[in-house]
C-alpha cells in the first residue's frame, strides 16, 4: 500500500524575506506550475509549523476536516520556531485512497469463531479468492478445526490450499497483503492485535451483531473484493495506541550502582527499566484501567508528558483512540470523535466527583498511569478487552499514539461511512419528528399561544 505524501521544503532561516510559501491546505487542491493547474489526487497537508508567508490575504477552505494550514507569522516580527522533528502530516480524508506497489497475492481471512451462520459466507469467500482471484489465503488453524468445516467433503479440495497459523506462535506480519474480516467489530480488533507493527489494509464485512467498524455487506462481495484488489477503494487511517507496561519483579529488585545522583534523581545514563518486566501492545480501541474485583475505589495518578494532571478516584479510567470513542468511552459519557481527528481521549469510569468530565488531549502526548501512593488496592488493565493483568504499586502504564495506524477500507468515504454507522448502529439523534403547525395554530402563534409547549 502506498500513500502520496506531500513534499515540504523547509527553509533554514526564520526570516519572512524571500520567495512566498504556498500552502496546499490554504490554496485548495491544485498546485500551479508555470501558470497551469496540476490536477489529480490531493496530496497530504501539513499542519506543522510552516515558513513565513509573504501574502496571507486569501484563505479558501478545503474539504479537509482539519481546516487550512495555519499562518505561523504573528505581527511584523514574531513567528514559530522551526523544528523538523515535530512535523505532522495530516492528509485530507477525501484524498485517502488505496493503491498497490505490486498486485496483492496473499490475503488473511478472519472469521468469527463458533458462529455457524458464517460457515457458508466463509466457504464462498475463500473459494472465490483461491479459484477466481488466484490468491494465497491464510486462516487461523483453529478456524479449520470447526467440526462443520472438517465434516464438509465438498470443501475438502479448497481446505487443502489454506496456509494456516497460530496466534502468539507464528509471525505472519510480512506475508499478508490485505485482510478480510467476517463477523462483528471484534474481528477487526483481533486483526489489529495480530500486527504489532505495520498493518495491511483491512476490509470488514458486517456479519456480526453491531458492525460499527464493519461497513461492507456480503451480498455482492465479489464486486467489492475485486475493486479492492484493483486498488479502487477509499481508506480511513484509524490511529492506534502504543502502550508500554512496566512491572516490578517481585523479590528481584536489582541494585544499580552509581545510578542515583546526590539529590536522589535517577542519573541520565541509567536505564530505569533494568530488572523490570516490560511489555508492549498496539491498541485500536482503548486501554481500560479499572478496580477489578476490589470493592474499594481505584486510586490512580495520571501524568501527561511527565506532569501530574489529575488523580482518578472511581471505578477506573478509559484511554481511547477516536475509533474507541464510540465504544466503552461512549457508554461512559464521552463524546464521539471522527477517526481522522488526531487525539487521545481520557474518560473516567464512574468518578467520585461531580466535576470530572472526559477530556481530549493532542495525539502526540505521552500519558503515564500509576497507582497512587495512597491507593488501598491494586487495579487491572486490559487492551481492547484482552491481555487483562494486574497493576501493583511501582508498576506503570505508558500510552501514546502509535505510528502504525490501521488502514480500514471504506464503502464510500471516511465521512459518509462514519455518519452511516452512527445512524444505523447507534441510532444517533433518533427522535420522533416535531409536528408542524396547522394554519389555525400558525395564526395563533403571533398572539403568544402555545409558548413553551413541546411536541
**Hey, which residues are catalytic here?**
185
If residue 360 lies in a helix (H) or strand (E), which one and from where to where? Answer: strand 359-362
Query: In Å, how far are 177, 202, 222 from 229, measured between CA atoms?
Result: 10, 12, 11
* Residue 19: half-sphere exposure toward Cβ, Cα within 13 Å: 6
Are the CB atoms for 213 and 323 separated by under 8 Å? yes
Sorted by sequence, the CB contacts under 8 Å of residue 332 that are 6+ apart come out as 318, 347, 348, 349, 350, 358
CB atoms within 10 A of CB 415: 17
- Run of H or E residues at 157: helix 156-159
Q: What is the DSSP string of 254-321?
A: ---TT-B-TTSPBPTTS-TTTTEEEEEEEESSEEEEE-TT-SSPEEEEEEETTEEEEEEEEEEEEEE-
> For cell 494465497, what's the residue?
136
Nearest to residue 130, comparing CAs of 118, 139, 143? 139
Burial class (CB in 10 A: 0-12, 13-18, 19+), 70: middle
Cα–Cα distance, 393 to 96 (Å, whole number)? 44
Is the alpha carbon torsion for 388, 394, 400, 402 positive or negative?
Answer: negative
CB 248 within 8 A of CB 291: no
Amino acid at each position: 500500500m502506498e500513500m502520496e505524501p506531500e513534499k515540504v521544503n523547509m527553509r533554514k532561516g526564520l526570516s519572512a524575506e524571500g520567495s512566498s510559501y504556498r500552502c496546499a491546505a490554504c490554496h485548495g487542491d491544485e498546485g500551479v506550475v508555470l501558470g497551469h493547474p496540476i490536477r489529480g489526487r490531493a496530496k497530504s497537508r501539513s499542519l506543522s509549523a510552516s515558513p513565513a508567508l509573504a501574502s496571507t490575504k486569501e484563505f479558501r477552505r478545503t474539504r479537509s476536516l482539519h481546516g487550512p494550514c495555519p499562518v505561523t507569522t504573528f505581527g511584523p516580527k514574531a513567528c514559530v520556531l522551526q523544528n523538523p522533528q515535530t512535523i505532522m502530516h495530516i492528509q485530507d480524508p477525501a484524498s485517502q485512497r488505496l493503491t498497490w506497489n505490486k498486485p496483492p497475492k496473499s490475503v488473511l481471512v478472519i472469521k468469527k469463531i463458533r458462529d455457524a451462520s458464517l460457515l457458508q459466507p466463509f466457504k464462498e469467500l475463500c473459494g472465490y479468492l483461491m479459484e477466481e482471484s488466484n490468491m494465497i489465503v491464510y486462516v487461523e488453524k483453529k478456524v479449520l478445526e470447526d467440526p462443520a468445516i472438517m465434516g464438509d467433503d465438498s470443501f475438502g479440495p479448497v481446505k487443502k490450499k489454506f496456509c494456516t497459523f497460530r496466534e502468539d506462535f507464528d509471525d505472519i506480519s510480512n506475508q499478508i497483503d490485505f485482510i478480510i474480516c467476517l463477523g462483528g467489530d471484534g474481528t477487526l480488533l483481533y486483526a489489529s492485535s495480530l500486527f504489532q507493527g505495520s498493518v495491511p489494509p483491512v476490509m470488514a464485512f458486517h456479519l456480526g451483531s453491531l458492525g460499527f467498524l464493519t461497513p461492507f455487506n456480503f451480498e455482492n462481495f465479489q464486486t467489492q473484493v475485486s475493486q479492492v484488489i484493483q486498488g479502487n477503494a477509499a481508506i480511513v487511517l484509524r490511529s492506534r495506541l502504543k502502550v508500554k507496561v512496566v512491572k516490578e519483579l517481585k523479590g528481584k529488585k536489582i541494585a544499580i550502582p552509581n545510578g542515583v545522583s546526590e539529590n536522589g534523581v535517577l542519573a541520565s545514563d541509567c536505564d530505569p527499566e533494568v530488572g523490570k518486566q516490560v511489555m508492549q501492545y498496539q491498541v485500536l480501541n482503548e486501554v481500560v484501567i479499572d478496580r477489578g474485583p476490589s470493592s474499594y475505589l481505584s486510586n490512580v495518578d495520571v501524568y501527561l508528558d511527565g506532569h501530574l494532571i489529575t488523580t482518578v478516584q472511581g471505578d477506573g479510567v478509559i484511554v481511547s483512540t477516536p475509533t474507541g470513542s464510540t465504544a466503552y468511552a461512549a457508554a461512559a459519557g464521552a463524546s464521539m470523535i471522527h477517526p481522522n481527528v488526531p487525539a487521545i481521549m481520557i474518560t473516567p469510569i464512574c468518578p467520585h466527583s461531580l466535576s470530572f468530565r472526559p477530556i481530549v488531549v493532542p495525539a502526540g502526548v505521552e500519558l503515564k498511569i500509576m497507582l497512587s501512593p495512597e491507593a488501598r488496592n491494586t487495579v487491572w488493565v486490559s487492551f481492547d478487552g484482552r491481555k487483562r493483568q494486574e497493576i501493583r504499586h511501582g508498576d506503570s502504564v505508558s500510552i501514546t499514539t502509535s505510528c502504525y495506524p490501521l488502514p480500514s477500507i471504506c464503502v464510500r468515504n471516511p465521512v459518509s461511512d462514519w455518519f452511516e454507522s452512527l445512524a444505523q448502529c447507534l441510532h444517533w439523534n433518533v427522535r420522533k419528528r416535531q409536528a408542524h403547525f396547522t394554519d389555525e395554530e400558525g395564526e395563533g402563534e403571533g398572539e403568544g399561544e402555545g409558548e413553551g409547549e413541546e411536541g
